[in-house]
């Protein structure tokens, strides 16, 4: 018990001496009266200096560590923000490859509907070049762009590709026959058009094109048969009567030719009130139209 009391007294005295040293050091530094003993000042200064160094040694690493943590946190936060912005940018501005491909496809249809066939063709080609060269529908659309631009050979090239993928598709076959007819490849055009007529026996335009092929190859009777079939299926098309009238005229049957031309004029008047008028192949190739 006595030893415990002694220990406490020593501890108190030590703290008191430290306090006194601090007090004296304060007086020395501030110039206040610290006693008349000149020897106490150097000792106090040494004490205060050692205490300050210890405090700095203890404090500075803590501050440095906090600064390091703060810097790391700010860098991490910046990185997180940049990464977040990058991902947001990619999601908004940098679409995945599939979206780009579909975008080209959709743009192609939009341009086609507007009648801008060059831009439509280019958009469809971009879609095809992205590894979609087995899409028969888009190959067909590229062909239609070329056809509307009167680039018939290019149209035939893409129609043939589409035909290999979708054999005996009625639209592809019909357009192949029509484009081949446009470049005067009549025998092959007839092959495709006959196939088309087997698939679509009620399609008047197919028989009209078959009649034109027959007429161009000198098969006049066959041409009459096809034109008459077209008229039976669609009697409101003036161009069919015009075509039959030219065939009658070519064969020397002027009476029937006049009847057909008059009928064509009557139908044409109705067509003009309701919309555009088709012109027969002979008129397009420079023959004078009967209605002029």
Res. 274: pLDDT tops 70:
no
- Domain segments of the chain as ranges: 19-93, 95-183, 202-292
Query: CB-based contacts of 111: which residues, under 8 Å, 6+ apart?
Result: 117, 119, 120, 123
Res 123: pLDDT: 94
Res 272: pLDDT: 73
- Residue 121's Cβ-count burial label (10 Å; 0-12, 13-18, 19+) is buried
Tokens of 247: 């065939």
CA distance 116 to 108: 9
What are the φ and ψ backbone dihedral angles of 290, each rounded to 5 degrees?
A: -65, -25
DSSP sequence for 218-281: T-HHHHHHHHHHHHHH-TT-HHHHHHHHHHHHHTT-HHHHHHHHHHHHHHHHHHHHHS-----H
Res 252: pLDDT: 92
8 Å CB contact between 125 and 100 = no
CA distance 196 to 190: 10
**pLDDT > 70: what percent of the chain?**
59
Res 215: pLDDT: 95
8 Å CB contact between 249 and 223 = no
Tell how far CA 26 is from the center of its chain. Answer: 80
Query: % helix / strand / coil in the chain, to the nearest 5?
Result: 80, 0, 20
8 Å CB contact between 209 and 178 = yes
Tokens of 71: 């810097």
Res. 237: pLDDT tops 90:
yes
More confident position, 212 or 14: 212
Q: Domain spanning 202-292: which CATH class is it, in words? A: mainly alpha
8 Å CB contact between 256 and 219 = no
Which of 223, 269, 221, 271 has the alpha carbon at shortest distance from 243?
Answer: 223
Q: What is the pLDDT of residues 162-209, one digit of tens each?
A: 999 998 888 999 999 999 999 999 999 999 999 999 998 999 999 999
Q: What is the pLDDT of residues 39-92, one digit of tens each?
A: 545 554 555 555 554 555 555 555 565 555 455 555 555 555 455 544 544 444
- For residue 172, CA distances in Å to 30, 185, 243 come to 106, 17, 25
Does domain 95-183 correspond to CATH entry 1.25.40.10? yes
Is there a shared CATH topology between the 95-183 domain and the 202-292 domain? yes
Please report the sign of the dihedral spanned by the C-alpha atoms of residue 229, residue 230, residue 236, residue 239. Answer: negative
Dihedral over alpha carbons 233, 238, 239, 242 (to 10 degrees): 110
pTM of the model: 0.58
Res 287: pLDDT: 33
Res 19: pLDDT: 47
Res. 223: pLDDT tops 60:
yes
């Amino acid at each position: 018990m006595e030893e415990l009391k002694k220990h406490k007294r020593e501890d108190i005295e030590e703290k008191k001496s430290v306090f006194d040293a601090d007090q004296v050091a304060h007086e020395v530094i501030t110039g206040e009266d610290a006693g008349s003993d000149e020897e106490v000042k150097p000792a106090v200064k040494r004490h205060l200096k050692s205490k300050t160094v210890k405090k700095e040694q203890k404090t500075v690493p803590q501050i440095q560590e906090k600064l390091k943590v703060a810097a790391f946190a700010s860098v991490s936060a910046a990185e997180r923000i940049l990464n977040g912005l990058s991902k947001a940018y990619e999601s908004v501005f940098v679409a995945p490859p599939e979206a780009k491909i579909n975008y080209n496809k959709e743009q192609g249809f939009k341009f086609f509907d507007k009648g801008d066939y060059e831009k439509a063709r280019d958009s469809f080609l971009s879609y095809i070049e992205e590894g979609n060269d087995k899409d028969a529908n888009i190959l067909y659309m590229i062909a239609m762009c070329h056809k509307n631009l009167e680039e018939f050979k290019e149209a035939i090239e893409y129609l043939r590709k589409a035909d290999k993928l979708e054999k005996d598709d009625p639209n592809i076959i019909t357009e192949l026959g029509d484009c081949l007819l446009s470049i005067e490849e009549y025998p092959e055009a007839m092959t495709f058009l006959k196939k088309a007529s087997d698939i679509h026996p009620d399609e008047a335009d197919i028989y009209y094109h078959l009649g034109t092929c027959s007429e161009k190859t000198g098969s006049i009777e066959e041409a009459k048969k096809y034109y008459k079939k077209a008229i039976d299926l669609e009697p409101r098309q003036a161009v069919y009567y015009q075509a039959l009238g030219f065939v009658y005229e070519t064969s020397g049957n002027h009476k029937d030719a006049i009847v057909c031309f008059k009928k064509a004029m009557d139908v044409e008047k109705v067509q003009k009130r309701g919309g555009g008028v088709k012109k027969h192949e002979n008129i397009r190739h420079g023959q004078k139209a009967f209605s002029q």
